[in-house]
Amino acid sequence: MFDFLDLERYDLLGAFWVTVQLTVYSAVGSLIWGTILAGMRVSPVPLMRGFGTAYVNIMRNTPLTVVLVAASLGLYQTLSVTLGGRDSDQIGFRLAVLGLVAYTATFVCEALRSGINTVPVGQAEAARALGLGFTQVLTLIVLPQAFRSVVAPLANVLIALTKNTTVAATIGVSEAALLMKEMIENESDVIFLVFSVFAFGFIVLTLPTGLLLGWVSKRVAVKR
Amino acid sequence: MKLRKAGTAAAAAVVLALTATACGGGSDSGDDEKITVGIKFDQPGLGLKTPDGDYTGFDVDVATYVAKELGYDEKDIEWKEAPSAERENLISRGDVDFIVASYSITDERKEKVSFAGPYFLAHQDLLIRADETSIKEAGDLNSKKLCSVTGSTSAQNVKNELAPKADLDEQGGYSQCLTGLENKVVDALTTDDAILAGYAAQDEHKGKFKLAGLSLSDENYGIGLKKGDTELQKKINDALKKMVEDGSWDKAVKDNFGPAGYKNEPAPEITETS
Amino acid sequence: MSDLSVLYDVPGPRAKRRNWLYTVLFLVVLGLVSWWVLDTMADKNQLAGEKWLPFVEDSRIWTTFLLPGLLNTLKAAALAIVIALPFGALLGIGRLSDHRWISVPVGAVVEFFRAIPVLLLMLFANEAYAQLTDVESEIRPLYAVVTGLVLYNASVIAEVVRAGILSLPHGQTDAAKAIGMRKGQIMSYVLLPQAVTAMLPALVSQLVVIVKDTALGGALLGFAELLSRVRSITANYGANTIAAFTVVALLFILLNFLLTSFASWLEGRARRSRKGTGAVVTEDIGSDVAVVSAPGDDRTDGPGGPGHGPGDGGVRKTR
pLDDT digits (tens, 9 = 90+) for B173-199: 888 899 999 888 899 998 888 899 888
Smallest Cβ–Cβ distance between C138 and the set B24, B51, B173 belongs to B24
Q: Do C287 and A156 touch (CB under 8 A)?
A: yes
Q: Do A65 and C115 touch (CB under 8 A)?
A: no
Q: Is the pLDDT of residue C50 over 90?
A: no
Higher-pLDDT residue of B158, B58: B58
CA dihedral C97, C99, C102, C108 (to 10 degrees): 80
Mean pLDDT value across chain C: 82
Report field, pTM of the whole predicted structure over 0.90? no
Q: Distance, in angstroms, between A107 CA and closest chain C CA?
A: 7
Residue C283 is predicted with a pLDDT of 55
Q: Do A73 and B179 touch (CB under 8 A)?
A: yes
Residue B81 is predicted with a pLDDT of 86
Q: Is the pLDDT of residue C3 over 80?
A: no
Q: What residues of chain B lie within 8 A of the CB of A72, using their CB?
A: 171, 176
- Pairing mode, strands B35-39 and B98-99: parallel
Q: Say what percent of chain A tops pLDDT 70.
A: 96
Q: Do A153 and C8 touch (CB under 8 A)?
A: no
Distances in Å between the Cα of B247 and the Cα atoms of A131, B68, B235 are 91, 16, 19
Mean pLDDT value across chain A: 90
Q: Distance, in angstroms, between C179 CA and closest chain A CA?
A: 38
Q: Distance, in angstroms, between C158 CA and closest chain B CA?
A: 19
In Å, how far from its chain's centre is CA B116? 16
* ipTM of this complex prediction, to 2 decimal places: 0.89
Residue C174 is predicted with a pLDDT of 93
Q: Which residue of A has its CA nearest to C261?
A: A57
Residue C201 is predicted with a pLDDT of 84
Smallest Cβ–Cβ distance between A116 and the set C220, C303, C306 belongs to C303
Q: What residue type is B181 in one-letter code?
A: L
Q: Do C136 and B50 touch (CB under 8 A)?
A: no
Residue C143 is predicted with a pLDDT of 94
Task: Write the pLDDT tens digit of every residue in B17-32.
Answer: 544 444 444 444 444 5
pLDDT range class, residue A66, cuts 50, 70, 90: very high
Residue A77 is predicted with a pLDDT of 87
Q: What residues of chain A lie within 8 A of the CB of B92, using their CB?
A: none
Task: Write the pLDDT tens digit of every residue in A175-219.
Answer: 899 888 888 877 777 888 889 999 999 999 998 888 898 888 888
* Residue C280 φ then ψ, to 5°: -135, 135
Residue A25 is predicted with a pLDDT of 97
Q: Distance, in angstroms, between C299 CA and closest chain A CA?
A: 7
Q: Distance, in angstroms, between A88 CA and closest chain B CA?
A: 5
A neighbours by CB contacts (3+ pairs under 8 Å) = B, C
- Of the CA atoms within 13 Å of residue C54, those in its CB half-sphere come to 24
Q: Do B171 and A76 touch (CB under 8 A)?
A: no
What H or E segment, with its residue span, contains residue A65?
Answer: helix A64-69
> What is the C-alpha end-to-end distance of chain C, expressed in Å?
27
Q: Distance, in angstroms, between C134 CA and closest chain A CA?
A: 16
Q: What residues of chain B lie within 8 A of the CB of A88, using their CB?
A: 145, 167-170
Provide the chain C residues 166-205 that lie in CB contact (below 8 A) with chain B: 193, 196
Q: Do B17 and C79 touch (CB under 8 A)?
A: yes
pLDDT range class, residue C23, cuts 50, 70, 90: very high
Q: Do A77 and B185 touch (CB under 8 A)?
A: yes
Q: Is the pLDDT of residue C242 over 50?
A: yes
Higher-pLDDT residue of B28, C19: C19
In Å, how far from its chain's centre is CA C183? 32
Asked if the C-beta of C246 comes within 8 angstroms of chain B's C-beta atoms, the answer is: no
Asked if the C-beta of B199 comes within 8 angstroms of chain C's C-beta atoms, the answer is: yes
Task: Report the distance separating Cα C119 and Cα B209, nearest Å.
Answer: 36
Residue A126 is predicted with a pLDDT of 93
Residue C49 is predicted with a pLDDT of 82
Q: What residues of chain C lie within 8 A of the CB of A166, using their CB?
A: 117, 119-120
B neighbours by CB contacts (3+ pairs under 8 Å) = A, C
Q: For an interface test with A, which of C1, C28, C123 has the most A Cβ atoms less than 10 Å from its Cβ? A: C123
Q: Which residue of C has its CA nearest to A221?
A: C315
User: DSSP letters along B69-132, please?
Assistant: HTT--GGGEEEEE--GGGHHHHHHTTS-SEE-SS-B--HHHHTT-EEEEEEEEEEEEEEEETT-
Q: Do A77 and B145 touch (CB under 8 A)?
A: no
Q: What residues of chain A lie within 8 A of the CB of C119, using their CB?
A: 166-167, 169, 177
Task: Report the distance separating Cα B175 and Cα B183, nearest Å.
Answer: 12
Residue C271 is predicted with a pLDDT of 77
Q: Say what percent of chain B tops pLDDT 90.
A: 16
Residue A102 is predicted with a pLDDT of 96
Residue B217 is predicted with a pLDDT of 85
Q: Is the pLDDT of residue C290 over 70?
A: no
Q: Do C286 and A184 touch (CB under 8 A)?
A: no
What H or E segment, with its residue span, contains residue B60?
Answer: helix B58-69
Which candidate, A17, A104, A3, places its Cα nearest to that of A60?
A104
pLDDT range class, residue C28, cuts 50, 70, 90: very high
Q: Distance, in angstroms, between B203 CA and closest chain C CA?
A: 7
- Of the CA atoms within 13 Å of residue B21, those in its CB half-sphere come to 21
* Residue A111 φ then ψ, to 5°: -60, -45
* Residue B269 φ then ψ, to 5°: -70, 145
Kindly report the number of other CB atoms within 10 A of residue C136's CB atom: 16
Q: Distance, in angstroms, between B129 CA and closest chain C CA?
A: 13
> What is the Cα Rg of chain C in Å?
24
Residue C268 is predicted with a pLDDT of 85
